[in-house]
Structure 1
Amino acid sequence: MLILTNEDIETLIDMPACVATLEAAYRDFGTGEAVDIPRQDGLVANSRPGAVHAFKTMSGSWPRAGIAALRLNSDIVHWPVVGDSPRRVKIPCSAGARYNGMVLLFSTDTGQLLCTFNDGLAQKTRVGASSGVAAKYLAREDARNLGLLGTGWQAEAQVEAMCAVRRFDLVKVYSPTAANREKFAAMFARKLGTDIRPVATAAEAAHGADILVSATNSMTPTIKPEYLRPGMHITSVRGSEIPLEVLRRVDRLVVNTHAPVSAFPARGWPSEVPEFTNGDYSRPDIGLIAYEKVPELKDVVARTVPARVSPQEITCFHNYKGLGLQFAAIGSLIYASARKRGLGITVEDRYFTQTVHP
């Protein structure tokens, strides 16, 4: 059994390959040849003011790669107000100010545990790559201008994925903190060889954008109705970033999955956290938009429903919930590459198998 760290994974991940692999996994999911088991969160009280312990699991199986994956997180989460907006923030409470999240990969041939690795880099990569897959099908082929709201770790994967599926003349990036947007723009201009410029407002980032991406941890909307224009494609990393008014104005809406996040809160504050107002567990648009009738990305990729059908359409990939299957897909790449390059620590398999019938 192989153990990998984020430091190992950083040398293994290639965004174009991740986009292509996720596209293949979505296609198999759309034809019924892959399986996703929806996310579940357990929430209980924590000793820190305003915080909870969140225990999260999601899983999926991709037979084409011979991989099943389980992703789990043990997080201390709180919702501080930054500016005038609450943000969902994880607190690194483990020794050394570290977070707790991991992915386990199993063989669909033998059932054996093959690998375990930190989920951090894989997490942002699978979100970015899924947005890239959606943009490949939903954005105009001639999209040349990208607007990006946010400069955090999710934004990094988003700009890489968008540049993997479209060739941009200009990328405009906004963050409320000038130093953050200037650093981000300089770093990714060098890395991607693209003209990336920091701008002072979200409206300026959205102006003239063919694709508009919001990649923040904001609990309030970031994409405003006035940002929309014919032919635009929009996407986000949280359901809270796209308000109902925007969702009602788009011409073609696609979601990552119909299945909601199942939350199991203890009484008191765990059942009252902001996620139940406009976040992972509930939003104002739920019940007002018939999501069961909205196409899922897997259906678009499998071509059982149409993608973009006209240059004037406003399209939206509402990425309000992830899939365990994404970790099986990204994990298959990570595991194969690590084995090929001899990375990681190998532990005897007998510690993870047993002769006793479970």
Structure 2
Amino acid sequence: MADAVRALEESYRDLADGVGICRPRIDLSLPVDDTRVYRWGTMEGSSARSGYVAIRMKSDVLRETGPPGLRTQEKYCVRPGRFCGLVLLLDARTGEPVALLNDGLLQHLRVGADSAIGVRFGARADARVLGLLGSGGMARSHVEAFLAVRPLERVQVYSPTRRHRERFAAEMRERHGLEVVAVDEPEQAQHGADIVAGCTDTVGDVVFGHHLRPGTHVTCVGGRPDARARDRFDVWLRLGSASAPASAPGWATEDEYVTYRARPDAPVWRHHHDRGGHRPPQHARLVRLDAALAGHDRARDDEEQVTFSERGNIQGAQFHAVAAVVYERAKERGLGHEIPRDWLLQDIRE
């Protein structure tokens, strides 16, 4: 995890310096039936310093289930419990494809590392208590990532299924030697927390402003902060924005997702919420990570501010950085299955 945090910070510096480039995530969405949609999502990025290029590809069938306020998004490929996400890594110095990686572990690593960078710059230096909303794989990676930047002592975790949150608490106690408490209500997870992290597959609000105390840092990679939480954010830390195309600078966007829909009038879209882009409230002071990295701005001016961090739309810049670390380590250790280069090359000019 420490390597992932370091790789992302380097990638973000490359973006700020104009050495790195990436585009926002682009989704193609098609109706499957009255309740399900298919989504093909891609994001890509590169750095002239590292010499690697990567594209991450996701193939998901999606369905939203549950009552308002508790609605979740289910996804699968082929059948429930199976998923298809791939990262193709290429060497920009030769053009050669060098690795094809499943994205599951990389996804958890890069999202956790991303949130940890937000904590490094936005949380109080004495932050010790984490309020965690969610108990799945993403929650596990966040505990590990936050420990890389803050000496946590206590974790308060809530998820709707008691068995899941209690199992998570026991696992984190054993793995990290922390005090980890499974709580029965989401507000109990936030009570007294210095850092609050939403790590769920909930579609709606998961972080509630009336439970946030002064000095809290918030990050939310599943669900969203409610309106009162947004009203309480004093500082909004954005980790980066995708590069603008040199040939069409007007295409620049700060939206996290760019979505194309087939049959946009199909009834199924009424059952699927647009995720849209994060927009800071007008009263919050917007801080960009490149300014913080350069020492030109700070994400926290005092101990009472409530801060929030979000990645922006630079997912493409994350995957080439983390995939390159994995590829180089795998080569060193002789791991993986080698595919003959000739399978991927041809002698017909495109």
TM-score higher than 0.5: yes
Q: 1:242-277: CA deviations, max 9, x gaps?
A: 12332222111113445211110112146444332x
Change (3 A) 1:322 1:157: farther
Q: Secondary structure at the match of 2:300?
A: coil
In structure 2, relative to structure 1, the CA distance for the partners of 1:247 and 1:220 (3 Å cut) is same
- Residues 1:340 and 2:332 aligned together: yes
Q: Is the 8 A contact 1:182 1:198 kept in 2?
A: yes
One-letter code of the match for 1:274? H
Please tell me the residue identity of whatever aligns with 1:147: G
Structure 1 residue matching 2:206: 3-state secondary structure:
coil
2:71 aligned residue (77, 81, 86) = 86
Structure 1 equivalent of residue 261 of structure 2: 265
1:215 is aligned with what amino acid? C
Aligned-partner residue type, residue 343 of structure 1: L
Alignment of 1:178-327 (within 5 A): 178-238=162-222, 240-258=223-241, 259-260=254-255, 261-266=257-262, 267=264, 268-269=266-267, 271-276=269-274, 280-281=275-276, 289=281, 294-319=286-311, 323-327=315-319
Supply the distance in 1 between the matched residues of 2:282 and 2:337 (Cα, whole angstroms): 48
For 1:71, what is the secondary structure of its paired residue?
strand
User: Residues 27 and 176 from structure 1, CA distance in 2 versus in 1: closer, same or farther, beyond 3 angstroms?
Assistant: same
Q: Is there any run of 5+ residues in structure 2 with no aligned partner, and where? A: 242-253
- AA aligned to 2:58 is N
**Aligned 8 A contact 1:43 1:265 in 2:** yes
The letter for the 2-side match of 1:51 is R
Aligned residue identity for 1:38: P
**Contact 2:118/2:239 (CA < 8 Å) preserved in 1?**
no
Query: 1:78-113: per-residue Cα shift (whole Å, max 9, x none)?
Result: 10116852111102425x952111000011211111
Match of 2:55 among 48, 70, 75: 70
Given that 1:26 and 1:302 are in contact with CA atoms closer than 8 Å, whether structure 2 keeps it comes out as no
CA distance in 2, matches of 1:227, 1:298: 31
SS in 2 for 1:171: strand
Secondary structure of 1:79's partner? strand
Counterpart CA distance in 1 for 2:47 and 2:173 is 35
Deviation at 1:320, TM superposition (A): 6.6
Of 122, 130, 135, which aligns to 2:114? Answer: 130
* Superposition RMSD in Å: 2.3
SS of the equivalent of 2:218 reads strand
Cα–Cα, structure 1 residues 275 and 298, in superposed 2: closer, same or farther, change >3 Å?
farther
Structure 1 runs, 4 residues or longer, greater than 6 Å off: none
Which whole-Å CA distance do the structure 1 matches of 2:287 and 2:227 have between them?
A: 17
Distance 1:83 1:245, change over 3 A: closer
Q: Quick one: structure 1 residues 101 and 43, their matched pair in 2 at CA, closer, same or farther if it must change by over 3 Å? A: same
Q: Which runs of 5+ in 1 are unaligned?
A: 1-14
TM-score when scaled to structure 2?
0.89
DSSP 3-state at the match of 2:23: strand
